[in-house]
Structure 1
Amino acid sequence: MSVTVVGIGADGWPGLAPPARTALEKAAVVLGAPRQLELLPTSITAARESWPSPLMPALPGLLDRHARDELVVLASGDPMFFGIGSTVLRLRPDAVVVGHPSSLALATARLGWAEQDVVTVSAVGRPLAAVRAALAPGRRLLVLADSAETPARLAALLVGAGYGAARLAVLTSLGAEHESRTDGTAADWDATTTDPLAVVAVTCPALPDDDLLGRAPGLPDTAYDHDGQLTKSELRALSLAALRPLPGQLLWDVGGGAGSIGIEWCRAEPTARAIAIETRADRAARITANAEALGVPGLRVVEGHAPEVLAGMDAPDAVFVGGGVSVPGMLDSCRTALRAGGRLVANAVTVEGEAALAAARAEHGGSIRRIAVSRAAPVGRYLGWKAMAPVTQWMLRVGSDGVPGGCQAGATLTSDVSDGPSLTPPWRTP
């Protein structure tokens, strides 16, 4: 029998298109939230079943139990926009989805905003802290709320991030006769709402009181709480450029420290994922706090010693080794764990670590470079250059066949970052 996912808005039955009405009229069972089921008229004779809580673990069993029924699954608004449609399709590829205007479409229509210029963040079943990574001067955001407290929590987050001047508009029951709008600023927000499902429109100020962090790698070192174990800004930018954050891909940040590499990997590509591996409990806790403060609360922290703790973890698309490169088995474990097309970037500041990288490069190829950075510092009444510890960096890419790509063992090294610009990826030797 068939499974049809039907999007339904706050306007209920009157807002449904003919294909959605036909599916509901034919249905033997309708699954949905109580508020969605209440929107259906009495003429719909199908058995109505409310979602269990938690929903996602129970969904496969529900679909199996109704495998012989004409089944309709109700979704709020557009089923494929932060909705249950994609989950149902993953479990039942033969399911049919009947769309409906999304809350994003309705909200931008009310606000007069161009939909393609708006950034959307969902706080429905997700941490609100993700909003921090999306903040930028003059940006327009839509935040999908899942509780009546979300607008007040969002206002407090904006104030804490230096965006107290942001303008807020809370839109509730979009599409219904009783839809409403409440406006104010984050710093002065004191409005209340009883509708748990709202869309909060945020207009960021042109000149926020922040450090203009953005998504580009190389955030200021002051953006992190750390105990000195931090990949510095300049090296972080070069390392992330070599790692190449890509949509949906997973990074292992081995030797997490303050978590900066994993955090900026996730900030650079919002759909990317990261796991930070850290031996010390205090640093592991600090990574979690830094990730939330910088808007990537989904970053996962694993506490333990590498390479032993790496066994059994999801295979990565990229690995950064920021410490312990000379530990026996470290580089081999990280390299062999990579998926096809994966990238490995390893940094060393000690002679022993540099020797380990040189040996790895000689055996497996890739590219190696030495990075030296100096920062201006006071010298009496003047400024002078203070050199940071030079860093040796090995970069390797695994080919589609699982064999390391790039240069072959024994090829000539190009190791000086001061060599001029090159079109060759850093894991390959020209």
Structure 2
Amino acid sequence: MSAAPSVIPPPHPVSVVGIGADGWSGLSGGAREALRGAEVLIGGARQLELLPPECAGVRVAWPSPLRPAVPRLLAEHRERRIAVLASGDPMFYGIGRALAEELGPEGLYVLPHPSSTSYACARLGWPLEDTEVVTLVGRPAARLVASLHEGRRLLVLSADATTPATVAALLTSHGFGPSRMRVLEQLGSEAEAYADGIAESWAHAPGDRLNVIAVECWATADALRLGAVPGLPDEAYEHDGQLTKRHIRAATLGALAPAPGELLWDVGGGSGSIAIEWMRAHGSCRAVSVERDPARAERITRNAERLGVPGLRVVTGRAPAALTELPTPDAVFIGGGLTAAGLLDACWEALRPGGRLVANTVTLESEALLGERYRLYGGELTRLAVAHAVPVGGFTGWRQAMPVTQWSVRKSSAPVSASVPVPGDRT
């Protein structure tokens, strides 16, 4: 269901016209008609310069930052026929999304143009449906890391002319130096240009700011393998020992069951591994990691950037007090501090109906608390035990890690029973 419009729709639908690097000559008859008939033309300065004098409407360039200006400009000109210019397809990482959020889809008349990704795949001979698109426009380059997998084809939407060099350095630093890179500039125009090379030896000077980077991902033989499912190698994380280990982490993420667009609270973040792998599950997954120790909170931020989810929000503070202003979670993981007074109750109360809560512990005191809640609310109470093979003299034997007790439960929409008193000690 679409969000309620925040701006009163104008008397006429706003025309949203996609335009390419080929300018006016590449537009359809309908798109030209919409631009000729507009009384107000809104777009980037470069896009407005592509229009001929016959488009006589008042030309308004987007200010920076753009998003906060959208409702103001729509309201200011709502009594006039408005046409908004967008690069390529307005609904693909374009202004069309912001306009639809303000006016609703019925307030728009969208006339798309082929996107830069469509042009790129046409030039490369790549099936678009098998090609992952990552935008770095207004976003940190580190988010590309989550998409790096051997043999994968990526199209990277550049922020400017310096982005290709940034991408080459990032690929090399993460073990993907052998990847092939092709930079495609001014796609769809007579000025199309291409640069080809290998990431680790990329030496091309910055070219045109309108470019798309095609990457064929190839890793070095010793590159750390980061798979697409939970349970990344422990050595992928910087930590001080406060790390949910790989096999327990995989089981925990399985119980949390991340889904696109959902929000996780990771309470007692440690090294941030649960929140990070929650966000790696899908590009739209969101997470807040709450950690009371400032040094660990900084470490979580570094781990998130290195592993491709720089959007992870880190809150430094002691739970449950640090939870009060956070948005409603779809799932909560408690990895530490279970016996802190009021913590489990606060997490349970904040969780939406149908949401999931997972708590892990290795102490008897916290295990007793989880047993109480299991009897009250049901769910699953599980003992997880992992052993690793280690040298024993000239032989090999098993070394048992501390067993982890895990409670996982889905919150019913039925009223919750009165909370149970818990021990006041802290872990």
Report the TM-score, using the length of structure 1 for normalisation: 0.92
Provide the aligned C-alpha RMSD in A: 1.3
Partner of 1:376: 389
Task: Please show how residues 21-60 of structure 1 align to structure 2 within 5 Å.
Answer: 21-60=32-71
Q: State how far apart, in whole Å, the 2-side matches of 1:98 and 1:82 are.
A: 15
State the shift of 1:194 in Å.
3.1
Q: Aligned residue for 1:216?
A: 229
TM-score by length of 2: 0.92
2:77 matches 1:66? yes
- Which residue of the other structure, out of 97, 104, 117, is the alignment partner of 2:130? 117
Shift in Å at residue 206 of structure 1? Answer: 6.5
| Aligned residue among 311, 333, 357 for 1:344 | 357
AA of the residue aligned to 1:196: R
**Relative to structure 1, is the Cα distance of residues 402 and 43 closer, same or farther in structure 2, using a 3 angstrom cutoff?**
farther
Report how far residue 68 of structure 1 moved.
Answer: 1.0
Task: Give unpaired runs (5+ residues) of structure 1.
Answer: 405-430
Q: One-letter code of the match for 2:402?
A: A
Q: 1:312, CA displacement in angstroms? A: 2.0
One-letter amino acid of the structure 2 residue matched with residue 49 of structure 1:
V
Matched with 1:252 is 265
Residue 100 of structure 2: which of 84, 89, 94 is its match? 89
Contact 1:24 1:30 in 2 (8 A): yes
For structure 2, list consecutive stretches of 5 or more residues without a partner in the other structure.
Answer: 1-10, 417-427
Distance apart, 1:316 and its partner CA? 0.4
CA change 1:192–1:403 in 2 (3 A) is farther
Instruction: Say which SS state the counterpart of residue 385 (structure 1) adopts.
Output: strand
Question: Which of the numbers 192, 216, 223 marks the counterpart of 1:179?
Answer: 192
Select the residue among 247, 262, 268 that pairs with 2:275: 262
Would the alpha carbon gap of residues 61 and 190 (structure 1) be closer, same or farther in structure 2, given more than 3 Å must change? same
How many angstroms apart in 2 are the aligned matches of 1:146 and 1:370? 48
> Per-residue displacement from partner, 1:147-184 (whole Å, max 9, x unpaired)?
11100010000000111110000001100100111000
* 1:230 alignment partner AA: L
In the alignment, the residues of structure 1 paired with residue 364 and residue 399 of structure 2 have an alpha-carbon distance, to the nearest angstrom, of 21
1:273, distance to aligned residue in structure 2 (A): 0.5
Deviation for aligned residue 1:119: 0.8
Corresponding residue for residue 3 of structure 2: none
2:139 corresponds to which residue? 126
Q: CA deviation at 1:211?
A: 2.0
One-letter amino acid of the counterpart of residue 75, structure 1: A
| Paired residue secondary structure (1:187) | helix
Deviation per residue, 1:204-230 (Å, 9 max, x gap) = 126654222122100010000000000
Closer, same or farther in 2 for the Cα pair 1:402/1:138, shift >3 Å? farther
The question of whether the paired residues in 2 share the 8 Å contact of 1:166 and 1:186 is answered with yes
Which among 347, 350, 355 is matched to residue 368 of structure 2?
A: 355
Q: Secondary structure at the match of 2:120?
A: helix
In the other structure, the counterpart of 2:256 is 243
Which residue is 1:151 aligned to? 164
The answer for the alignment partner of 2:410 in structure 1 is 397
Contact 1:140 1:201 in 2 (8 A): yes
Asked if 1 retains the 8 angstrom alpha-carbon contact of 2:357 and 2:408, the reply is: yes
1:324 counterpart letter in structure 2: G
The alignment-based identity, stated in percent, is 53
Contact 1:163 1:208 (8 Å CA) reproduced: no
SS at structure 1 position matched to 2:201:
coil
Equivalent pairs counted in the alignment come to 404
